[in-house]
């Protein structure tokens, strides 16, 4: 069943249409003409991202995963009464939820650009705004801010809950710096990972392909490293481990899987570099290709 066809308004045309027909050769609209800038594109992209259900779904599941898994691990560790070994602090328990949740951010990132190609909406978008770089910038900014905000709120909630749960269980009290890394740092990293996904979606123009590739990028290095048992490949194996996205994410919780490799804020700079390169590539391709 299709939605019922609405009756046609054959009645008098609205005022703007009936307005004094100017003489040939031109028609002048009563609508004020403004010179558009990035702000207009941002408003447009904000309307777009909030008006589709996939945004609500992916972000909803993300919050559910991050907060749910975070609270669950908190409860389990608190119940078992086990001491968190040596240097660990309560914040590090947030890692698992964020790692799983990153898949949602990747999905939303790819969908933000690629779904426009799937539906054909991109032709309408590019017609409305011929400055294609502006479209990409607006999409990237709006998405980044949404992803960052949602991740920040979730990670702060989880961090507060976990430190409260594990208070007195022997876990070391996290320092201010650790707090900052486990909330703001992680949120920046996840938002940048989503941004790279958005740019990959723009390059590939295919939702399923983009999501698959990005999940592969997250998981493959770890899985491949697991099977590199040979001694001759030891170095490659270590590098794959250290620079895999889960391990780099762990650096923010100081629960890295290895002791060497990226440390401190390194993962963020690495992801920032990747995002910048992807942005330049996506921009160039967008300008060059036909829509």
Partner 1 sequence: MIEIVGLSKRYGEKPAVDGLTFTVRPGTVTGFLGPNGAGKSTTMRMILGLDHPTGGDVRIDGRHYHELANPLTYIGALLDAKAVHGGRSARNHLLCLAQSNGIPARRVDEVLETVGLTAVARKKAKGFSLGMSQRLGIAGALLGDPRILMFDEPVNGLDPEGIHWIRGLMKSLAAQGRTVFVSSHLMSEMALTADHLVVIGQGRLLADTTMADFIERNSRSYVRIRTPDRERLLDALHAAGIAVVETGEGLLEVDGGSPERIGELAARHRVVLHELSVRQSSLEDAFMRLTAQSVEYHAQPEPAGQPWGAHWNARTAAPAASSGTPPAATPATTPTTTPTEG
Q: What is the C-alpha separation between 225 and 172, in angstroms, rounded?
A: 32
Q: Which is nearer to partner 1, 80 or 127 (CB)?
A: 127
Is 44 or 73 the residue whose CB approaches partner 1 more closely? 44
94, 152 in Cβ contact below 8 A?
no
CA distance 185 to 191: 10
Work out how close the CB of 276 gets to partner 1 at its nearest, in angstroms, rounded to a whole number. Answer: 25
Q: How far is the CB of 133 from partner 1 (least distance, A)?
A: 11
- Structural tokens at position 146: 């949404």
**Minimum distance of partner 1 from residue 279's CB (angstroms):** 20
CB 138, CB 51: distance < 8 Å: no
Give the interface with partner 1 as residue ranges (CB under 8 A): 2-3, 5-10, 13-14, 16-17, 21-36, 40-41, 43-45, 47-48, 51-54, 115-116, 119-131, 290-291
Q: Give least dist CB 246 to partner 1, A.
A: 31
Residue (68 or 133) nearer to partner 1, CB: 133
Q: Which of 27/227 has CB closer to partner 1?
A: 27
CA–CA distances in Å: residue 193 to residues 13, 33, 88: 50, 38, 25
Burial status of residue 204 (CB atoms within 10 A of its CB: 0-12, 13-18, 19 or more): buried
């Amino acid at each position: 069943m299709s939605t019922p066809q609405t009756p046609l308004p054959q009645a008098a045309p609205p005022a703007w249409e009936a307005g004094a027909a100017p003489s040939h050769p031109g028609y002048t609209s009563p609508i004020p003409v403004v010179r558009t800038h990035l702000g207009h594109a941002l408003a447009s992209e904000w309307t777009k991202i909030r008006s589709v259900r996939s945004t609500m779904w992916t972000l909803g599941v993300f919050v559910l995963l991050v907060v749910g898994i975070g609270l669950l691990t908190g409860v389990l560790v608190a119940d078992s009464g086990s001491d968190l070994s040596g240097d660990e602090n309560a914040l590090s328990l947030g890692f698992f939820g964020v790692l799983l949740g990153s898949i949602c951010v990747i999905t939303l990132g790819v969908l933000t650009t690629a779904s426009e190609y799937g539906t054909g909406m991109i032709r309408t978008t590019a017609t409305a705004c011929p400055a294609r770089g502006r479209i990409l910038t607006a999409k990237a900014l709006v998405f980044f801010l949404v992803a960052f905000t949602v991740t920040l709120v979730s990670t702060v909630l989880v961090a507060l809950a976990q430190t409260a749960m594990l208070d007195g269980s022997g876990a070391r009290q996290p320092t201010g710096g650790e707090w900052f890394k486990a909330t703001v740092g992680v949120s920046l990293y996840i938002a940048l990972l989503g941004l790279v996904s958005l740019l990959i979606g723009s390059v590939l123009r295919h939702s399923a392909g983009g999501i698959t590739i990005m999940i592969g990028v997250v998981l493959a290095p770890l899985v491949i490293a697991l099977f590199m048992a040979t001694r001759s490949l030891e170095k490659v194996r270590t590098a794959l481990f250290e620079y895999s996205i889960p391990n780099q994410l762990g650096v923010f919780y100081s629960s890295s899987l290895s002791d060497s490799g990226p440390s401190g804020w390194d993962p963020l700079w690495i992801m920032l570099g990747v995002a910048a390169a992807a942005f330049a590539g996506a921009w160039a391709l967008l300008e060059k290709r036909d829509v």
